[in-house]
Amino acid sequence: MFILLGMPVVQIIIFGFALTNEVKNSKIAILDPSKDAATTSLIAQMEASRYFEVDQVIHSAEEIEPIFKKGKIKLAVIFPANFNEDLQHFNKAQVQLIADASDPNVANTLTNYATAVIMDYQNRITNDKKLPYTINTEMRMLYNPELKGAYNFVPGVMAMVLLLVCTMMTAITIVREKEMGTMEIMLVSPMKPFRIVIAKAVPYLLLSSVNIASILLLSVFVLDVPINGSLVLLVFESLLFTLVSLALGLLISSRAESQQTAMFISLVALFLPTVMLSGFMFPVENMPLPLRTVSNIVPAKWYYSIVKSVMIKGIGLHAVWKETLILIGMLVFFLGLAIKNFKIRLA
């Protein structure tokens, strides 16, 4: 009943307020060797818009790559050495925009915003001059030059498919034994809850590795999404995420009274948060603080960010160790809870 009446309310609020494709307050980096009047006012204007927030000022082109790998920066604005001089003497200057296109939608939106701001500036300074100034913006899409949507949705779908399949598979296992009555004799045996729970997880882990393999093969050979990072690391992280999902499923299973309840819980309690809060459909950064906090307990969020880093950006464990640790923590927590919640009696 609560679900029936509460669901629409929650959904309207979440969809209406929190989940927008608009990109606000994106962190950008500035490389401005010229530091003249023109660049300063251009930067000030960018910062004045609600879309950008200057996070870092860098001093050399070498720094660009590393800050993107850290993942905080979505866009870098690079000015040439003599921006104002070029503009004054040749009426022409260049700005380079480098965007993190592992999320093509965000990259596209950001470069459009940036270009608009620059054009706006260009028009303003041209007004009282006879000769028009032209500022050329040159764009570079990092990691995903063709802005392929698959780069974004493959990691997201991986997270979703693994989570749903694994959780639902295991969610019904223990409940099914309760319904079939087999749990009744299983309990009157020396089997410990730990052993039963683990024994339930192992076969599904094997099945899930087949899933992982098929998803990766399809991504690479059908969707042309490259695996830029280490395959071993990617597989390891995927297995870790699978385990987290299996543990979640087992937790649901040890609590639920019927297979139907188990299915329903895994669908409602996992599917929606995964779709909405993992960052795959809607950027988490723009959500209000409460939702951003909630998104932290969605395992798919961390896995999604790991896959994007490893698969698309091609970076190693050193960049995703935090996410990895969080997933390991979740695994231990859910598995422990599942074992603890396992009922050693019938009622």
Partner 1 sequence: MKSVVVNNISKRYGSKKVVTTALQGISFEVDKGELFGIIGPDGAGKTSLFRILTTLLLAEEGTATVDGLDVVKDYKAIRQRVGYMPGRFSLYQDLTVKENLDFFATIFNTSVEENYDLIKDIYSQIEPFKDRKAGKLSGGMKQKLALSCALIHRPSVLFLDEPTTGVDAVSRKEFWEMLRKLKEQEITILVSTPYMDEASLCDKVALIQSGKILSIDTPEGVVKSFGKKIMAVKSSNMLHLLADLKRTELLEDAYPFGEYHHAVLKNESSGQELKNYLQQKEYPFEIKETEPNIEDCFMALMKN
Interface with partner 1, residue 205, by CB under 8 A: no
- Binding flag, residue 138, partner 1 (CB under 8 A): no
Q: For residue 94, give the H/E element and its range.
A: strand 92-100
Nearer to partner 1, 131 or 188 (CB): 188
CB of 265 to partner 1, least distance (A): 23
Paired with 30 in beta bridges are 57, 77
DSSP string, 164-201: HHHHHHHHHHHHHHHHHTHHHHHHSSS--HHHHHHHHH
3-state DSSP percent of the chain in helix, strand and coil, to 5: 65, 10, 25
Identify the residue among 1, 5, 9, 344 touching partner 1 (CB under 8 A): 344
Q: How far is the CB of 169 from partner 1 (least distance, A)?
A: 16
Closest to partner 1 by CB, 187 or 239: 187
Least gap, CB of 181 to partner 1 (angstroms): 4
Element at 98 (helix H, strand E): strand 92-100
Contact between 189 and partner 1 by CB under 8 A: the answer reads yes
| Site for partner 1 contains 186 (CB under 8 A) | yes
CA atoms of 23 and 84, how far apart (whole Å): 30
Amino acid letter for position 3: I
Contact 53, 25 (CB under 8 A): yes
Kind of pairing between the strands at 92-100 and 75-78: antiparallel
Per CB under 8 A, the segment of 105-113, 118-126, 175-183, 233-241 that binds partner 1 is 175-183
- Provide, rounded to whole angstroms, the least separation between the CB of residue 187 and partner 1: 6
Q: For residues 32 and 59, is the Cβ–Cβ distance under 8 A? A: no
Residue closer to partner 1 by CB (options 9, 346) is: 346
Residue 182 engages partner 1 in binding (rule: CB under 8 A) = yes
Q: Tell which one of 54, 161, 187, 227 touches partner 1 (CB under 8 A).
A: 187
From residue 286 to residue 325, what is the string marking binding to partner 1 with x (rule CB under 8 A)?
A: ----------------------------------------
Rounded to an integer, what distance in angstroms lies between the CA atom of residue 98 and that of residue 140? Answer: 5
Nearer to partner 1, 13 or 191 (CB): 191
Which DSSP state fits 213? Answer: H
One residue of 9, 131, 289, 347 binding partner 1 per CB under 8 A: 347
- The window from 36-44, 101-109, 164-172, 185-193 that contacts partner 1 (CB under 8 A) reads 185-193
CA atoms within 13 A on the CB side of 179: 13
Cβ of residue 5: shortest distance to partner 1, in angstroms?
A: 24
> 316 and 233 in contact (C-beta within 8 Å)?
yes
Q: Which of 10, 13, 57, 180 binds partner 1 (CB under 8 A)?
A: 180
Residue 228's Cβ-count burial label (10 Å; 0-12, 13-18, 19+) is middle
DSSP-derived secondary structure for 39-52: HHHHHHHHHHSTTE
- Which one of residues 1, 4, 185, 210 is an interface residue with partner 1 (CB under 8 A)? 185
Judged by CB under 8 A, the residue of 184, 260, 269, 288 near partner 1 is 184
Q: Which of 111, 45, 102, 104 is nearest to 77 (CA)?
A: 111
| Residues near partner 1 (CB under 8 A), total | 15
Residues at the site binding partner 1, with contacts judged by CB under 8 A: 180-182, 184-191, 344-347
